[in-house]
Structure formats: structure tokens, C-alpha cells
């Protein structure tokens, strides 16, 4: 779902060149991208929490991570995605735009901030504050849950168990580092540091890679 929001637009850009998009479609695309992107941030954190209980509390795992808890984590992730998507989209598209050309693959906050008229500082602060909540907080939870996992793995008696646990943990850590790292580099910085070519690379990293 996350990819399907932007891949058609990217393919259209690559095949046709400069393409137009209505304001309504742009707003829908931005909301959908933020909705699924923020949900993914929290789902990755939930997966790390699940891994923590599986490795560090194996005997109590089924009680702690019950189906009810899992459903609550998933629903919570999508509620956060809805909230962030609505806040950013409503604030951005309720402001007057002083330009009509987006130097980006799709409708994302940073290139749209460049088109806003007047003082954009409140919008910039809002983007950074929300990014701390939606990117930095889940990433901190992932790192916090990985430390005791690594410690537990190192104390395992069986080399085979260590290898299996490290394999699972390291692959997930690689995914979250690429995802959160590039997304954080995009959203946790002020407007004056925006650069279209760099921003496009970062967007491709956390959305496609």
C-alpha cells in the first residue's frame, strides 16, 4: 500500500516527463503516503518489541504478546498514521501556495513547503515536532529493545541459537536503520537545508529501497 501510493507517479514521471497533478489528488497522495509511512514506523517498532519479548522473555511470550495485544499495536499504528496524515495535509493545503511546480517525484511535505507563501516557520516546526514523535520515538524504542536482545544472545549456550537469533536481529536492524535513518534525515532538518537532488535520493531510500 505504501509503495502503490507513489510508484505510479514515479513511473509516470520517468515515462512521460513533467506531469501535472490536481491539488486534490496531490493532497490525497500526501495523506496516503504519510498515513502508510507513519504506520510503518510504528509497525517496525512493534516488531522490535515482539522480538524483544520472544528472545528475552520466551516463557512468557504467548501471554505478553497475545492476539489482543498484537491487534492493539496494529490499530494504534494506523491511528497514528491517520493523525499525522490529517495534520500535515490539512495545514499544508489550507495555506496559500505561491508556486505550482513541484520539484519532486510525488507530493511530499518538503517540496510543498517551498511553495507556501509567507512565513513557513510554524509549518517547519510542526514537521520537525511530528517527525520526532513518528520517527525518532519508534527508532529509539527499536534501539532500546535491541540492546537487551544482543545481551541475551551473547549469553546463549548454543552457537546455533546465537547464529539464528543474530541473523533475525541483524536483518531487522539493517532495515530499520535504512528506513528511519533516511526518513529522519529528510524530516528532522530545517527548510534552509532542503536540496531537491538530495531529498529525491532520501525519498527513494525510505520509500522504495
7-24 per-position pLDDT tens digit = 887 788 778 876 788 888
Which pLDDT value is given to residue 46?
93
Grid cell for residue 7? 510508484
Contact 161, 54 (CB under 8 A): no
Mean pLDDT of 170-175: 80
Mean pLDDT of 45-64: 88
Distance (Å, whole) CA 78 – CA 84: 10
Lowest-confidence segment of 9-13, 47-51, 76-80 by average pLDDT: 9-13
Which residue segment(s) compose the domain that 138 sits in?
A: 2-207
CATH number, domain of 188, equals 1.20.1070.10
**In sequence order, which residues have a C-beta less than 8 Å from that of residue 37 and are 6 or more positions away?**
2, 81, 183, 206, 207
Which pLDDT value is given to residue 157?
65
Band of residue 150 on the pLDDT scale cut at 50, 70, 90: confident
* Backbone CA torsion sign across 42, 48, 50, 52: negative
Is residue 4 classed as helix, strand or coil in its secondary structure?
helix
pTM: 0.86
Encode pLDDT of 81-118 as tens digits: 999 999 999 988 888 888 778 888 888 888 888 888 87
Mean pLDDT of 36-50: 92
**Residues facing residue 97 across a β-bridge:** 116
Number of domains in the chain: 1
Which pLDDT value is given to residue 32?
94
Distance (Å, whole) CA 165 – CA 161: 6
Is residue 155 classed as helix, strand or coil in its secondary structure?
coil
Half-sphere exposure of 20 (CA within 13 A, CB side): 3
Question: What φ, ψ does residue 116 adopt, rounded to 5°?
Answer: -70, 145
Which pLDDT value is given to residue 173?
80
Average pLDDT, the chain: 86
Q: Which residue has the cell 494504534?
A: 76
Band of residue 161 on the pLDDT scale cut at 50, 70, 90: low
Find the helix packing angle between 159-187 and 137-154, rounded to 10°: 160
Question: 3-state secondary structure string, 78-136?
Answer: HHHHHHHHHHHHHHHHCCCECCCCCCCCCCCHHHHHCCECCCCHHHHHHHHHHHHHHHH
Which pLDDT value is given to residue 131?
92
Amino acid at each position: 500500500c505504501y509503495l502503490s501510493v507513489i510508484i505510479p507517479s514515479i513511473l509516470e514521471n520517468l515515462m512521460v516527463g513533467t506531469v501535472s497533478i490536481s491539488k486534490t489528488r496531490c493532497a490525497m497522495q500526501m495523506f496516503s503516503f504519510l498515513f502508510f509511512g507513519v504506520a510503518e514506523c510504528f509497525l517496525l517498532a512493534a516488531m522490535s518489541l515482539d522480538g524483544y519479548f520472544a528472545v528475552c522473555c520466551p516463557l512468557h511470550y504467548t501471554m505478553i504478546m497475545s492476539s489482543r495485544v498484537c491487534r492493539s499495536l496494529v490499530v494504534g499504528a494506523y491511528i497514528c498514521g491517520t493523525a499525522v496524515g490529517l495534520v500535515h495535509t490539512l495545514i499544508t493545503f489550507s495555506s496559500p501556495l505561491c508556486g505550482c511546480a513541484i520539484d519532486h517525484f510525488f507530493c511530499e511535505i518538503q517540496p510543498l513547503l517551498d511553495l507556501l507563501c509567507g512565513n513557513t516557520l510554524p509549518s517547519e516546526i510542526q514537521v520537525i515536532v511530528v517527525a520526532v514523535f513518528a520517527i525518532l520515538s519508534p527508532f529509539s524504542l527499536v534501539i532500546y529493545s535491541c540492546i537487551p536482545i544482543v545481551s541475551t544472545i551473547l549469553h546463549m549456550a548454543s552457537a546455533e541459537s546465537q547464529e539464528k537469533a543474530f541473523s533475525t536481529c541483524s536483518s531487522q536492524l539493517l532495515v530499520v536503520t535504512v528506513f528511519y535513518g533516511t526518513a529522519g534525515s529528510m524530516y528532522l532538518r530545517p527548510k534552509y537545508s532542503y536540496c531537491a537532488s538530495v531529498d529525491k535520493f532520501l525519498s527513494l531510500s525510505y520509500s522504495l529501497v
